[in-house]
């Protein structure tokens, strides 16, 4: 019963927290660029305005696929907060992502299709590392059960510095920030117009934003799990990592997809797999 | 052979601030052919010469483009002055060079910002424009306008800058250079910038010559072509050496512009140092009769002004060949063989000014 | 490695600096002597010679001698200083405050008092 409550609380709180974090992100980014920046609550205003607009749906699958994506992403976050199996949460998130790609493919717009291609490449680059992180946490704590990981006595980070670094690297992909915001970015435009989300308008785009909020919280929670035995350290670590991501976003241009894929896999292999091998041998 | 698809690029494309339409013929993601069409914002400015007196046409000429407006005005004035055999005071010519070079700095900074934005480097974009804002402040201080000054007139310039002001401006220029330096370093040395631009949109020296590339586009392909070498106006007293790169890709075009900002800042310092005292305009009497081809160097390249007077208040013919118009054939050459995702970066690399092109 | 940190110092510095945004119209902008705001007429001095009307490159100024009015359409005006230069009695001047936004594009009409009234005043 307790797990249910936690799950629902997580689902309800996530948009609030992620929206606020997004707003603060925008203010910090603006400061880094020498600008004033929008009010902190701007992400909420954006989403509210998008909901009030007309929904231009291109075909009967388009909006439904976005809703499917939302359901799976929300479920992933809910399961995470409910303390279920970590692997299951990760796969639920991936399914949510796949639905988003399908929604983009269903539109037939060249930019949207290319964006969807790139989103698949991004998943290909990021998912191995995220799975390795789950495996690493299992090796360090002996369980996939988030309840047990969170209530464990020692943190996974002391066994998994390499995996942690690799996770931060692919986090840039998951958070859609430069240099890896290939499929779609937070900014007004990119070379693929808006890539994945080109054909999303009004409420669909609002749902897309909300999906991204859930994704953000999910990966941040993943970071937190590395420090689960010390909550304060965990929260501080999450904040530092997020700040680092903003910084990386601001000092890099967007790279081409081949570099993203190659570098993400090299990092996964060396830091992720290398760390796990060492752990396997030493334990 | 892969299936060919045609993807329309523009006239409404968020990457392009202005309307140009390209039909991209794609094989998978590879561009194999490009069909351009222009004419979406044709304003018929060249016909206006029959309705506006030749002196009022300066205002029209300035409004051909919103970024290099002053040099457009100067090109037109220079044409009329040559037709009328007017002798322009030295001080006016130096002031024209000063504003002209400042326009070049402003235009290149604008381009650098847009180009950084096109490759997803938002902070570099914002910082470039922050520096550009200081240049605009100088414009506003000296002429009253931030983009279109109305400072050029047939027979000279309309506004003088006092010597005190010039000395202050020299300090302001140093400040601009100091703020610009770290940004220039990013453009020249940053890894991700090079990753995005090197070996993209290649244009060989032969192609650049044959297809008639002008300005930084030509210079980046190794053609040392700069109209300032014609020594028009005050460039008679100011030596300019064109900045040439040989790589011929988008990155080379960026490097040329980055270095030209330094060159222009240096030129302005020399103008402040050398500017003679005296009148700023000569009295214009009579009406132009005859024709002249006036060629001046704009931030984007060579602009050609053809004016033909018939001895009345109104001109017979007024024709402009803007740099972007000359750079479209080279652009089509560059685009062949690139991927769709590179198209915006390559289109931007010639610094397209569609309003110029279509007049 | 240092190749990817070229922007680092600039970004960190501006994080602690004041932003360069100028919040017009909430804060008054810096005006220079020649800042182009709007054209204002000193109606007491105007002699209705209509030179400004003739010389205006965009035809923004309209002088009606019979009705004794001077009108300017600030949406046509390009603030080129031409009228200020040609005015024989220097009654036209460039004011630095930008003209306020309006819902309809219309001319601003100024009535010029007759000479007799001027003498009385």
Mean predicted confidence (pLDDT) in B281-301: 85
Domain hosting residue A128, numbered range: 2-282
Choose among B95, B149, B97, B87: nearest CA to B283.
B87
- Quote ipTM for the complex: 0.86
Each residue of B138-177: pLDDT tens digit?
A: 888 888 888 888 888 888 888 888 888 888 888 999 999 9
Name the 3-class secondary structure at B244. Answer: coil
Each residue of A152-184: pLDDT tens digit?
A: 777 788 888 899 999 998 988 888 887 888 877
Choose among A183, A194, A209, A187: nearest CA to A49.
A209
Choose among A185, A187, A162, A176: nearest CA to A268.
A162
Q: Which residues, other chains included, contact C90 with Cβ-Cβ below 8 Å and sequence gap of 6+? A: C45, C84
Cβ atoms B157, B281 nearer than 8 A: yes
CA distance B150 to chain C (A): 6
Cβ–Cβ contact B119 with A under 8 A: yes
* Mean pLDDT score of chain A: 87
Mean predicted confidence (pLDDT) in A108-115: 81
Cβ–Cβ contact B122 with C under 8 A: no
User: What is the predicted pLDDT for the residue at A20?
Assistant: 93
pLDDT band at B2 (very low <50, low <70, confident <90, very high): low
CA distance A123 to chain C (A): 24
Indicate the residue of B123, B124, B192 with minimum beta-carbon distance to A179: B192
Cα separation of B350 and B5, whole Å?
A: 25
Mean predicted confidence (pLDDT) in B53-66: 83
Choose among B298, B296, B297, B320: nearest CA to B307.
B320
Question: In the numeric block, which tokens belong to residue A210?
Answer: 């909300």
Indicate the residue of B123, B158, B191 with minimum beta-carbon distance to C11: B123
**CA R_g for chain C:** 22
Q: Inter-axis angle of helices B90-118 and B122-143, to 10 degrees?
A: 160
pLDDT band at A188 (very low <50, low <70, confident <90, very high): low
With CB atoms and an 8 Å threshold, state whether A35 touches B126: yes
User: What is the predicted pLDDT for the residue at C117?
Assistant: 58
Q: How many CB atoms sit inside 10 A of residue B139's CB?
A: 22
User: What is the predicted pLDDT for the residue at A51?
Assistant: 92
User: What is the predicted pLDDT for the residue at A16?
Assistant: 93
Cβ atoms A216, A18 nearer than 8 A: yes
Question: In the numeric block, which tokens belong to residue A33?
Answer: 């660029």
pLDDT band at C76 (very low <50, low <70, confident <90, very high): confident
Question: In the numeric block, which tokens belong to residue B329?
Answer: 């054939």
Cβ atoms B243, B261 nearer than 8 A: no
Indicate the residue of B59, B127, B141 with minimum beta-carbon distance to C32: B141
Extents of the domains making up chain B: 42-358
Cβ–Cβ contact A28 with C under 8 A: yes
Mean predicted confidence (pLDDT) in A16-29: 92
Cβ atoms B92, B125 nearer than 8 A: no
Full 3-state SS string of chain A:
CHHHHHHHHHHHHHHHHHHHHHHHHHHHHHHHCCCCCCCCCHHHHHHHHHHCCCCCCCCCCHHHHHHHHHHHHHHHHHHHHHCCEHHHHHHHHHHHHHHHHHHHHCCCCHHHHHHHHHHHHHHHHHHHHHHHHHHHHHHHHCCCEHHHHHHCCCCHHHCCHHHHHHHHHHHHHHCCCCCCCCCCCCCCCECCECHHHCCCCCHHHHHHHHHHHHHHHHHHHHHHHCCCCCHHHHHHHHHHHHHHHHHHHHCCCCCCHHHHHHHHHHHHHHHHHHHHHHHHHHC
With CB atoms and an 8 Å threshold, state whether A114 touches B340: yes
Instruction: Please tell me whether the overall predicted TM-score, pTM, comes out greater than 0.80 for this model.
Output: yes
User: What is the predicted pLDDT for the residue at B357?
Assistant: 79
What share of chain C has pLDDT > 90, as a percent? 0
Q: Which residues of B touch A262 (CB under 8 A)?
A: none
With CB atoms and an 8 Å threshold, state whether A251 touches C4: yes
Is the model more confident about A46 or about C1? A46
Each residue of B239-263: pLDDT tens digit?
A: 888 888 888 888 898 899 999 999 9
Each residue of B321-359: pLDDT tens digit?
A: 888 888 888 888 888 888 877 787 888 888 888 877 777
Choose among A240, A187, A213: nearest CA to A20.
A213
Q: How many CB atoms sit inside 10 A of residue B87's CB?
A: 8
Cα separation of B273 and A61, whole Å?
A: 69
User: What is the predicted pLDDT for the residue at A243?
Assistant: 92
Cβ–Cβ contact C13 with A under 8 A: no
CATH number listed for the domain at residues B42-358: 1.10.645.10
User: Is residue A210 predicted with pLDDT exceeding 80?
Assistant: yes
Size of interface A-B (CB pairs under 8 A): 73
User: Is residue C80 predicted with pLDDT exceeding 90?
Assistant: no
Residues 270-329 of B with CB under 8 A from A: none
Cβ–Cβ contact A28 with B under 8 A: no
Cα separation of A260 and B120, whole Å?
A: 14
User: Is residue B290 predicted with pLDDT exceeding 80?
Assistant: yes
With CB atoms and an 8 Å threshold, state whether B122 touches A256: no
Name the strands in the sheet holding B315-321, side by side, starting at the edge strand that comes first in the sequence: B289-298, B301-310, B315-321
């Amino acid at each position: 019963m307790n797990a249910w409550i936690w799950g629902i609380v997580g689902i309800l709180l996530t948009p609030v927290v992620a929206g606020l974090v997004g707003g603060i992100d925008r203010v910090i980014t603006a400061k880094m660029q020498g600008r004033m920046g929008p009010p902190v609550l701007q992400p909420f205003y954006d989403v509210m305005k998008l909901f009030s607009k007309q929904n231009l749906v291109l075909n009967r699958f388009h909006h439904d696929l976005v809703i499917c994506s939302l359901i799976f992403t929300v479920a992933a976050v809910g399961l995470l907060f409910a303390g279920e199996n970590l692997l299951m949460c990760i796969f639920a998130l991936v399914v949510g992502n796949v639905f988003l790609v399908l929604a983009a493919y269903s539109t037939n717009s060249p930019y949207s299709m290319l964006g969807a291609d790139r989103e698949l490449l991004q998943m290909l680059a990021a998912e191995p590392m995220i799975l390795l992180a789950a495996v690493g946490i299992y090796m360090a704590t002996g369980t996939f059960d988030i309840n047990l990981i969170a209530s464990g006595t020692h943190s996974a980070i002391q066994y998994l510095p390499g995996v942690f670094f690799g996770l931060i690297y692919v986090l840039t992909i998951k958070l859609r920030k430069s240099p890896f915001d290939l499929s779609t970015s937070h900014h007004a435009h990119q070379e693929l117009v808006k890539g994945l989300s080109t054909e999303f308008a009004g409420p669909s785009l609002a749902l897309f934003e909300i999906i991204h909020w859930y994704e953000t919280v999910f990966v941040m929670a993943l970071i937190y799990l590395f420090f689960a035995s010390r909550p304060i350290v965990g929260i501080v670590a999450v904040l530092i990592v997020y700040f680092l991501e903003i910084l990386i976003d601001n000092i890099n241009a967007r790279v081409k997809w081949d570099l993203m894929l190659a570098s993400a896999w090299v990092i996964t292999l060396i830091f992720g797999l290398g760390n796990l091998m060492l752990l396997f041998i030493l334990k | 052979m892969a299936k060919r698809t045609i993807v329309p690029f523009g006239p409404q494309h968020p990457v392009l601030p202005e309307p140009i339409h390209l039909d991209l013929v794609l094989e998978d993601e590879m561009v194999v052919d490009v069909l351009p069409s222009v004419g979406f914002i044709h304003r018929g400015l060249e016909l206006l010469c029959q309705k506006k007196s030749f002196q009022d046409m300066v205002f029209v000429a300035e409004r051909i483009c919103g970024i290099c407006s002053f040099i457009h005005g100067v090109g037109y004035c220079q044409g009329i002055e040559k037709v009328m055999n007017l002798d322009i005071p030295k001080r006016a010519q130096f002031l024209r060079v000063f504003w002209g070079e400042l326009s070049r700095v402003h235009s290149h900074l604008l381009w650098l910002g847009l180009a950084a934005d096109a490759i997803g480097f938002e902070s570099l974009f914002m910082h470039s424009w922050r520096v550009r804002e200081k240049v605009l402040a100088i414009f506003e201080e000296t002429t009253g306008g931030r983009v279109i000054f109305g400072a050029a007139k047939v027979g000279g310039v309309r506004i003088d800058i006092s010597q005190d002001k010039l000395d202050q401006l020299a300090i302001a220029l140093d400040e601009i250079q100091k703020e610009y330096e770290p940004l220039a370093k990013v453009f020249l040395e940053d890894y991700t910038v090079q990753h995005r631009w090197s070996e993209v949109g290649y244009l060989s020296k032969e192609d650049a010559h044959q297809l008639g590339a002008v300005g930084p586009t030509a210079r980046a392909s190794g053609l040392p072509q700069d109209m300032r070498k014609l020594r028009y106006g005050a460039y008679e007293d100011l030596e300019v050496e064109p900045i040439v790169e040989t790589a011929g890709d988008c990155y080379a075009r960026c490097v040329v512009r980055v270095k030209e900002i330094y060159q222009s800042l240096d030129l302005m310092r020399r103008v402040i140092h050398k500017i003679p005292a005296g009148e700023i305009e000569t009295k214009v009497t009579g009406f132009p009769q005859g024709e002249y081809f006036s060629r001046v160097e704009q931030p984007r390249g060579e602009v050609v002004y053809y004016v033909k007077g018939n001895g009345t208040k109104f001109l017979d013919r007024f024709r402009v060949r803007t740099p972007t118009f000359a750079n479209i054939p080279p652009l089509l050459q560059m685009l062949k063989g690139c991927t769709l995702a590179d198209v915006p970066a390559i289109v931007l690399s010639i610094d397209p000014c569609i309003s110029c092109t279509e007049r | 490695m240092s190749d990817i940190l070229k922007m680092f110092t600039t970004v960190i510095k501006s994080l602690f600096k004041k932003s360069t945004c100028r919040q017009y119209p909430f804060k008054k902008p810096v005006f220079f002597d020649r800042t182009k705001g709007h054209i204002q007429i000193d109606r007491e001095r105007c002699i209705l010679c209509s030179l400004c009307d003739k010389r205006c490159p965009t035809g923004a100024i309209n002088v009606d001698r019979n009705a004794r009015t001077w009108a300017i359409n600030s949406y046509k005006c390009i603030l080129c200083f031409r009228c200020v230069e040609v005015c024989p009695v220097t009654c036209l001047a460039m004011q630095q405050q930008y003209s306020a936004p309006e819902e309809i594009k219309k001319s601003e009409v100024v009535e010029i008092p007759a000479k007799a009234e001027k003498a009385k005043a």
